[in-house]
Amino acid sequence: MRKILLAILFFYVWQFGFSQELESEKSEQEEEFSPIIRVALITGNSHVPNAFEGEKQVSIIPFYGFDVDYFVHPRWSFALQGDLKLQSFEVEHEGVALERSYPFSLATVAHYHFKRHWSVYFGPGWEFEKNENLFLWKLGSEYSFEISETFEIALNLSYEDKQEIYDSWNFGIAFNKLIWKKNK
């Protein structure tokens, strides 16, 4: 019993000390923070489960994209994300085939950076296409690997729901570059 109480006491003392250390790191990070703008070029693939081309099912569609992030806080940034699917395809909705000819998507998202190099994001957007434009919701996560102080390579996974007509899972590799940092 005594060993269990000592172990619990040790755990709480260690946890309290660790949380104090984290708080001091956070406050130092927040004190040193100044707004940042980062741009990214992305290449990847979209998985569209119900896409087809003629009689042939195509579920993997390549895309190119971009991302412009504005960091307003060490943990928060807002971004404009865009991507262009590099293939035409059709999706079936309520028994009718809806053609998607090289659709281009734009979304405004809010990123929450819960770790230094890992964030989750969510936001609305539009998919533009010559036949019909669709409203979308985008939810995703990004993990980046710092190469230098101003350059990162990131893995990106996102889900897009397009007016409940069709959805897609996107996986990409992003090349991030810091282009502006406000001087204090």
| 7, 43: one domain | no
| 52, 141: one domain | yes
Phi and psi (nearest 5°) for 165?
-85, -45
Domain count, the chain: 2
User: Residue 7 belongs to what domain range?
Assistant: 1-32
This model's pTM is above 0.85:
no
Contact yes or no for 145/135 (Cβ under 8 A) = no
What CATH number corresponds to the domain at position 81? 2.40.160.20
| 159, 173: one domain | yes
Q: What would the pLDDT profile of 24-62 be if each residue is shown by its tens digit? A: 445 555 668 889 999 999 999 999 988 988 888 888 999
Beta strands 56-57; 51-53: pairing state: antiparallel
Q: Which two tokens stand for residue 122?
A: 């969510």
Mean pLDDT of the chain: 87
